[in-house]
Structure 1
Amino acid sequence: MSDVQVWIKETVTQNPVVLFMKGTAQFPQCGFSGRAIQLLKASGVENLVTINVLDDPVVRQGIKDFSNWPTIPQLYIKGEFIGGSDIMNEMFENGELQALIKG
């Protein structure tokens, strides 16, 4: 396992909610990342950790390899990969996302 893979694994397991995204929670750099932040806020998330993949190409590729998922954003809750903004949207609409976050 590469250094970036180890770091990603530690990050997603040591924080309850982690979003790998383009930009920051305050300034998302793509519509999907912005939507992901909106959904998380609407779900009552606290202690959200965001990782800006645009800051580091190694992390940007590393998270895709880690999850075997080709797109950003990527949401992890309690160390488990949840999915991207489309999956988050579906889960929000049926109440699953809120239930997972309130855990």
Structure 2
Amino acid sequence: MDNIQEKIDELVNNNSIILFIKGTRTFPQCGFSQTVTHIFDLMQIPYVTVNVLENEEIRQGIKSYSHWPTIPQVYIEQEFIGGADIITEMYHNGKLQEKVEKVLAA
């Protein structure tokens, strides 16, 4: 498990905005993953996705890594932000745009 935690840590640390989702950016395979990718696409910002369906160790490992039981999971500047409900709420109240603008300005 340590190896998977190291791999996840590397992914999170090497990408400013990373989404762990079910499916791909162009073909999300659950409604929650689709919601999150849609929000980031609407914002027209660069982000990376990891398809947890391709690797069961990452799928389970990300839950341990964040101490969060569900997927999708969003990280911005190595900070775990949350899943679909939190991202949707932050998008609607403008807090997601504020957080992303700080990242892009850096």
TM-score range, shorter chain: over 0.9
Q: Give the match for residue 27 of structure 2.
A: 27
Q: Give the match for residue 53 of structure 1.
A: 52
List alignment gaps of at least 5 residues for structure 1.
none
Higher relative contact order (CA 8 A, sep 6+): 1
How many equivalent residue pairs? 102
List alignment gaps of at least 5 residues for structure 2.
none
TM-score (norm 2): 0.93
Correspondences of 1:9-88 after superposition (within 5 Å):
9-46=9-46, 48-88=47-87
SS state at 2:48 partner: strand
Q: RMSD of aligned C-alpha atoms?
A: 1.0
Query: 1:86, CA displacement in angstroms?
Result: 0.1
Query: 1:44, CA displacement in angstroms?
Result: 2.8
CA contact (8 A) 1:20 1:72 kept: yes
CA contact (8 A) 1:24 1:50 kept: yes
TM-score (norm 1): 0.95
In 1, Cα distance between the equivalents of 2:44 and 2:81? Answer: 17
